[in-house]
Chains A and B, each alone.
Chain A
Amino acid sequence: MSDIVEKTLTALPGLFLQNQSVGGPAGVKASFSSRLGGLVRGITALTSKHEEEKLIQQELSSLKATVSAPTTTLKMMKECMVRLIYCEMLGYDASFGYIHAIKLAQQGNLLEKRVGYLAVSLFLHENHELLLLLVNTVVKDLQSTNLVEVCMALTIVSQIFPREMIPAVLPLIEDKLQHSKEIIRRKAVLALYKFYLIAPNQVQHIHIKFRKALCDRDVGVMAASLHIYFRMIKENSSGYKDLTGSFVTILKQVVGGKLPVDFNYHSVPAPWLQIQLLRILGLLGKDDQRTSELMYDVLDESLRRAELNHNVTYAILFECVHTVYSIYPKSELLEKAAKCIGKFVLSPKINLKYLGLKALTYVIQQDPTLALQHQMTIIECLDHPDPIIKRETLELLYRITNAQNVIVIVQKMLEYLHQSKEEYIIVNLVGKIAELAEKYAPDNAWFIQTMNAVFSVGGDVMHPDIPNNFMRLLAEGFDDETEDQQLRLYAVQSYLTLLDVENVFYPQKFLQVMSWVLGEYYYLLDKDTPEEVLTKLYKLLISDSVSSETKAWLIAAVTKLTSQAHSSNIVERLIQEFTVSLDTCMRQHAFELKHLCENVELMKTLLPVDKSCEDMVVDASLSFLDGFVAEELSQGAAPYKPHHQRQEEKFSQEKVLNFEPYGLSFSSSGFTGRQSPAGISLGSDISGNSAETGLKETNSLKLEGIKKLWGKEGYLPKKEGKTGDETEAPPVPQESIIMETVDQNITKKDQCQVHTQSKEEKEKQLLASSLFVGLGSESTINLLGKADTVSHKFRRKSKVKESKSEETTSAHMTCSYFGSSSEATYEDDYYLDTLQDRGDKELSKFSLNSELLDSESVTELPSVEKLSNCKLSSSPSLFTDNNMEGFHPSQSTAPSVANETSLAASLLEETSEHVHSDLVEVCHNETISVSSYKIWKDDCLIMVWSVSNKSGLKLKSANLEIAPAENFKITEQPGCCLPPTEAGSIKTFQYTVQMEEPFTEGNLSGFINYQMMDTPSVQLEFSINLSLLDFIRPLKISTENFGKLWLSFGNDVKQNVKVSESQAALPSALKTLQQKLRLHVVEIIGNEGLLACQLLPSIPCLLHFRVHGDVLALWFRSSCSPLPDYLLYQCQKVMEGS
């Protein structure tokens, strides 16, 4: 068929050209139906881009006039839309027509609607604001009785639909799943698939309906549902294992040709369906033997059936092979799959060969022998004229690299690298070469040369990790100190040679690496003066082709070298020149250098030789400035306020209360600005005397346990002990004999063939033997687990050391004691740290991007729901009194309350002043009874246990102990532990309890131990429940302060809670919250309220809530991350409970 198409297609341009004269710009006819034709012809007739632009602009302005004219009929509008689409396709802006496309979809008859919808789908994307205007039309059309209209609506929904409007159409689309027409059901399934992609939560409830679609009698509907299943299984394969049987059955039916012939494609039964099913099976069977066993048969059959020589059968085969290798392995199938891969690799068709290489690439780790089988093909592909094939071959070689073939493989990669121009490829390849070089380098010279090539070609596009890793590797060294020195020395020598070459421009990153290495390790050359290298660096410094960032590196190197030289003319010249430089950064560096030169002693301590790996310690709080700050303050200077605080203050002064912009304002600007490592940057951004004391410790680097090296007087020359963790002894290289034998085998084989081969062939064989050396033969499968078996040349030191030194070395490297411009790495690290420490209440006070937190709190929500399984100690009606802050516990839930009246009388005096719970018996026997109650003091929770002696006998001793609990800090109140020796007496034990970490509820347990005369001692155990609410107190603040606090808190949780009608009114909801949660009402404005509370001792939490009908929108914010969640949970409980 394609032949016919081809013929017609080639024949027609001729016709087309003949008739060009008819068209032309003037040929725009009056008839609307051929307007497009006129336009197309007009454009084709033009010769220059400029003319085209003129014509289109003309066209667009006439279109603009037409579409906005009130007299334009819908029919004309339809025609205009088509032309607008055409103009947009040519790359011109036709956005003025977007709104009219929506109108057309809304108002037109079927035909016009169709074009309207098409235009919308082509013009807009799913986040476009105009799309909202389409929602009504879609809803209307979904309800239409005309099938075509419903189809159009479903089609548009499956392509673009605003996520937030999904609820508006979801029920309608769900209905369509039961529609009698399969086309409607199919489109409805695809619409739901789209929803699943953009908002998976919204379609969670219809999973059962998906199953129904999977069992639909129509193949198209079933096939459509597989798209959803594929995504769902990809995310969570364990949830759908039960469907494996169904998928296998469907696949069997398809393979067996049981589907209607309509679905055949070139006499292959439903290939798309087969492939989709194979992909799903691959996901289900991964690492799961039992599930995999279910599919072995059908996979075998698929492999067997797919023997027709057509592209589409190859497609099925390919997917089948992929599945066979993904699931739990079965040797028989693997064998067959390997054979299939062979078919691809050996195919003369280039597309299939390419895929064969791809397949090899991903199975090579499991079966390295396959690469051996196809080694000659691989060699051929390496010199293939098509760069795509070459690249894929390199990818394959990359996977089989080991210590023996690394040189050849890297050489091939470098060859390719020199030819490619595309940045993406360069970045990718350079990364791989650097990785291989680092892993398998056979010797120092090779390693340095390879890295030189990487830096020269990769230049400034490569990943910044590459130079950083390289420098770290040099700095940290590996196991053998002399080896380290040699490597460094070689690097130094190599760079000196490179810099000798005239008129060569190296990439900036490479120059930076060079300057760092030369600065650090030039001393290894053992020359008297570094004059020679200083000259070279100086030359670079005055060169125009060097960026100012690189210059900072260069001058850092010069400084380091100067500390080793006694005096240097070049340095003096340099200082002279750059102290008057227009570049302020350079000028500063020069001044620093000048001052250091004047104080050689200081310079030597500051810039020790070969100490780049040692931790540099800085007093990031700049505490040595404290005196200065204090002095300024005493002279009336305003205390320093961080940027964001200043902003907030300004903000809160402007408006007393603002509801809308709570979310914004937390830009990271203040944050990043404050993050530069204070000791290094010379800016005074961070002051130890920040007015906001809470920020002080969290904002700075952690200084605990670190000796102060930089103090008020400058550098405190105290040598720190080496912090390096000693690495264990290197494992003996495991280059086993097996490898050598393989090696020999190959060579032997080669030798046998030598006679019959041409010279060229011989070369290839030679290459093959060098490439595939070290690859397993039948007996050695383990060799390809390259990372494990081959000892790496540059083995990294232990992890701890690595991560530790990362910070310090990066600080060293990027700025080498100078404030260099880029601190990106450092900041990122710090940012991550910050995020990790989010639990820390101080930290979260500032800096955290509110958007980030929003999303986080959304993910946390499920855990809140889970919590509802827990039981709460305080029953819902805990605070029934109308008294604002007061509350009385319900009648106790304890089984029996003994002597309640008499005990109640014994409540502590103090109790009467504070709100307290009723007395509850926690344990008793015939002799003794222990009851307890809580006193909710304003500043703490007091637990009182009162022990009464019921027996009428004297106790010899009695002792009450409370077991230490994880989340609580329990302090015994003094003077209340006298043993209740007297008969019938009551003694109380009082403890203050503090919550150490927020939680919803916890247990406090303890025991009473007593002894009566002449009896052994008895122990009674008891426990008591404490809830979060026991530690919540109202926080009385003003609205203004509320606003300020609200902005400074990062942790927030939002939730809508449905409430009963009686609760729906604001006052009653408010009352409930106030009484039961002990929240302080800050202010009520309309249907919104502000409440505040604190978790003892002093963690504030704020609540903003709004009533809409019967929904209560709650919004909590706090400085402590779990607190809003917990409070929300309590809040939901009380709202539901009442």
Chain B
Amino acid sequence: MQFMLLFSRQGKLRLQKWYVPLSDKEKKKITRELVQTVLARKPKMCTFLEWRDLKIVYKRYASLYFCCAIEGQDLELITLEIIHRYVELLDKYFGSVCELDIIFNFEKAYFILDEFLLGGEVQETSKKNVLKAIEQADLQEEAETPCSVLEEIGLT
């Protein structure tokens, strides 16, 4: 995998992970173009794209688009499942994940991603193992109470 982008329906970037060394300028350009292209596509359309010499696989979950770029030899369908597994992981970790979880705790989302994908390849496909690894690292955090989304938005 070359990179993964998460962005909202409004085109706001929520998460970006690059597995290939690119300059900031290129990254910005790619992001801008891709966000535009993907957002312009209609819901019933194919969620695979050929874009420049890359293959783009995207999937929309509620207001959030998950978008991956893969190389020619990689398989689109399994990439779609990678996205789905990542969403499952987020969901399990945050407990019914929503865009706000990812906005306010994006570092957590990154940690989960790093346990699941490493260097652009699938590292661990067992949901249990990924979450175990995260929990282990999180244990240190117990002293500090994690700020929940509800707290963030002032509902408590």
Chain A residues near B (Cβ < 8 Å): 1-2, 4-6, 8-13, 15-16, 19, 22, 33-34, 36-37, 40, 82, 85-86, 89-91, 93, 109-111, 114-115, 118, 121-122, 125-127, 147-148, 151-152, 155, 158-160, 183, 186-187, 190, 193-194, 197, 219-220, 223-224, 227, 260, 262-263, 265, 270-273, 275, 279, 311-312, 314-315, 318-319, 350-351, 353-355, 385-386, 388-389, 391, 424
Assess the B96–A220 pair: CB atoms within 8 A: no
Closest chain B residue, CB of each to CB of A273: B125
Q: Which residues of A contact B153 (CB under 8 A)?
A: 15-16, 19, 22
B30 contacts chain A at the CB level, 8 A cutoff: no
CB distance from B59 to the nearest CB of A (A): 9
Quick one: closest A residue to B150, CB to CB? A15
Chain A residues contacting B13 (CB-CB under 8 Å) are 89-91
Candidates A34, A114, A271, A351; contact of B137 at CB < 8 Å: A114
Report chain A residues within 8 Å CB of B16.
89, 122
For A314, the chain B residues whose CB sits under 8 A away are: 77
A389 & B77 in contact (Cβ 8 Å cutoff): no
For B77-111 the 0/1 string (1 means CB < 8 A from A) is: 11011101101100100001111100110110011
Instruction: Say whether B22 contacts A5, CB under 8 Å.
Output: no
- In B15-45, which residues have CB < 8 Å from any A CB? 15-19, 21-24, 28, 44-45
Q: How far is the CB of A128 from chain B (nearest CB, A)?
A: 8
- With contacts A33-B147, A220-B126, A386-B46 taken as known, whether A193 is within 8 angstroms of B103 at the C-beta atoms is no
Query: Nearest Cβ distance between residue B19 and chain A, in whole angstroms?
Result: 8
Complex CA–CA separation, A10 to B99 (angstroms) = 9
Question: Which 10 A/B pairs are nearest by Cβ-Cβ distance?
Answer: A9-B62, A315-B77, A125-B21, A262-B126, A315-B78, A12-B98, A8-B96, A110-B140, A386-B45, A158-B119
21 contacts between A and B (CB under 8 A): A2-B61, A4-B91, A9-B61, A15-B155, A16-B153, A22-B154, A33-B147, A85-B106, A118-B111, A158-B118, A158-B119, A219-B126, A220-B125, A220-B126, A223-B122, A262-B126, A262-B127, A318-B77, A353-B46, A388-B46, A388-B50
- Residues in chain B near residue A354, CB distance under 8 A: 46, 48
Q: How large is the interface on B (under 10, 10 to 19, 20 to 34, 35 or more residues)?
A: 35 or more
Indicate if the CB atoms of A312 and B128 lie closer than 8 Å.
no
Q: Chain A at the B interface: mostly helix, strand, loop or mixed? A: helix
Instruction: Looking at the assembled complex, report how far the CB atom of B11 sits from the nearest CB atom of chain A, in whole angstroms.
Output: 12
Contact A265 B104 (CB under 8 A): no
Kindly state the separation between the CA atoms of A109 and B144 in the bound complex, as whole angstroms. Answer: 13
How many angstroms between the C-alpha atoms of A355 and B78 in the bound complex?
12
Which one, B14, B81, B99, contacts A265 given CB within 8 A? B81
The residue from A1, A126, A155, A272 contacting B78, defined by CB atoms under 8 A apart: A272
Binding site for A on B (CB under 8 A): 13-19, 21-24, 28, 44-52, 61-64, 73, 75-78, 80-82, 84-85, 87-88, 91, 96-100, 103-104, 106-107, 110-111, 114, 118-119, 121-129, 133, 136-137, 140-141, 144, 147, 152-155
> Contact at B61–A318, with CB atoms within 8 Å?
no
A353 to B125, CA, bound (A): 27
**Docked pose: A187 CA to B123 CA in angstroms:** 8
Residue numbers in A under 8 Å from B46 (CB-CB) = 350-351, 353-354, 386, 388-389
Give CA–CA (A389, B41) in the complex, Å: 13
Could you tell me the distance between the alpha carbons of A633 and B91 in the complex, rounded to whole angstroms? Answer: 85
Contact B77 A5 (CB under 8 A): no
Does A265 lie within 8 Å of B125, measured CB to CB?
Answer: yes
CA distance A187 to B47 in the complex (A): 32
- Contact residues in A for B18 (Cβ distance below 8 Å): 125
Task: List B contacts of A22 (CB < 8 A).
Answer: 153-154
Q: Chain B residues near A89 (CB, 8 Å)?
A: 13-16, 106
Q: How far does the alpha carbon of A992 sit from the alpha carbon of B50 in the complex, in Å?
A: 68
Chain B CB within 10 Å, residue with most, of A115, A160, A265 = A265
Distance between Cα atoms of A219 and B23 in the complex (Å) = 36
> With A91-B13, A125-B18, A351-B76 given, can you name 9 additional A-B contacts, CB distance below 8 Å?
A5-B96, A6-B61, A9-B97, A9-B98, A37-B152, A85-B106, A89-B15, A351-B48, A388-B49
Q: Inside 8 A of B118's CB, which chain A residues have their CB?
A: 155, 158-159, 187, 190
Asked if B107 and A8 sit within 8 Å, CB to CB, the answer is no
In the complex, the answer to whether B77 meets A312 with C-beta atoms within 8 Å is yes
CB–CB B77/A9 < 8 A? no
Closest-by-CB residue of A relative to B114 is: A155
The minimal Cβ–Cβ distance linking B29 to chain A, given in whole angstroms, is 11
Chain B residues near A273 (CB-CB < 8 A):
125
Partner of B133 from the list A9, A37, A151 (CB cut-off 8 Å) is: A151
Task: Please determine whether B123 and A10 come into contact, CB atoms closer than 8 angstroms.
Answer: no
A105 to chain B, nearest CB (A): 14
Q: Which residue of B lies closest to A121 (CB)?
A: B114
List of A residues within 8 angstroms of B97 by Cβ:
5, 8-9
Residues of chain A lying within 8 A (CB to CB) of residue B28: 91
Q: How far is the CB of B60 from chain A (nearest CB, A)?
A: 9
Taking the closest CB of chain A, its distance from the CB of B34, in whole angstroms, is: 12
A351 to B77, CA, bound (A): 8
User: Shortest CB–CB separation between residue A396 and chain B, in angstroms?
Assistant: 14
What residues of chain B lie closer than 8 Å to A224, measured between beta carbons? Answer: 121, 123
A193 touches B22 (CB 8 A): no
- Of A109, A197, A351, the residue contacting B80 (CB under 8 A) is A351
Give every chain B residue within 8 A of A19 (Cβ-Cβ): 153-155
**CB-based contact A272/B76 at 8 Å:** no
Residue from the list A13, A114, A272, A389 in contact with B122, Cβ < 8 A: A272
Min distance, Cβ A127 to any Cβ of chain B, angstroms: 6
Q: How far is the CB of A651 from chain B (nearest CB, A)?
A: 32
In the assembled complex, which residues on chain B have CB atoms less than 8 Å from the CB atom of A122? 16-17, 110
CB distance from A100 to the nearest CB of B (A): 16
Bound complex: CA of A90 vs CA of B52, how far in Å? 24
**Residues of chain B contacted by A388 (CB below 8 angstroms):** 45-46, 48-50
Q: Is the CB of B100 within 8 A of A147?
A: no
On chain B, the residues within 8 Å of A86 by CB distance are 106
A312 to chain B, nearest CB (A): 5
B79 shortest CB reach to chain A, Å: 9
**B residues less than 8 Å from A227 (CB atoms):** 121
Contact A12 B75, CB 8 Å, known A5-B62, A262-B127, A354-B46 = no
B62 nearest CB across to chain A (Å): 3
**Contact call A183/B21, Cβ cutoff below 8 A:** no
CB atoms of B22 and A125 under 8 A apart: yes
> What's the Cα separation between A753 and B111 when bound, in Å?
61
**Interchain CA distance A9-B124 in the complex, whole Å:** 26
Report the minimum CB–CB distance from B111 to chain A (whole Å): 7
Query: Which residue from chain B places its CB closest to the CB of A18 in the assembled complex?
Result: B153
C-alpha gap A5/B124 in the complex (Å):
23
Task: Point out the residue from A115, A190, A355 that lies within 8 Å of B123, measured CB to CB.
Answer: A190
Q: Which A residues are in CB contact (< 8 Å) with B127?
A: 262
B82 to chain A, nearest CB (A): 8
Q: With CB as the reference atom, state the residue of chain B lying closest to A147.
A: B136
Contact with B111, one of A9, A15, A114, A315 (Cβ below 8 angstroms): A114
- CB-defined contacts of A151 to chain B, threshold 8 Å: 133, 137
Instruction: Report the nearest A residue to B122, measured CB to CB.
Output: A272
CB-defined contacts of B152 to chain A, threshold 8 Å: 34, 37
CB distance from B116 to the nearest CB of A (A): 11
Known contacts A12-B99, A40-B104; decide if A2 and B76 are in contact (CB<8 Å): no
B-side contacts of A193, CB under 8 Å: 119, 121
Question: Would you give the shortest CB distance from B113 to chain A, in whole angstroms?
Answer: 10
Q: Are B63 and A115 neighbours in the complex by a CB distance under 8 Å?
A: no
Give which listed residue, A12, A186, A355, A391, contacts B100 with CB less than 8 A. Answer: A12
User: Cβ of B129 and Cβ of A262 under 8 Å apart?
Assistant: yes
Decide yes or no: A263 and B126 within 8 Å by CB, A8-B97, A22-B154, A111-B140 being known contacts: yes
Closest to A350 in B: B46
- In the complex formed, the residue of B with least CB distance to A88 is B24
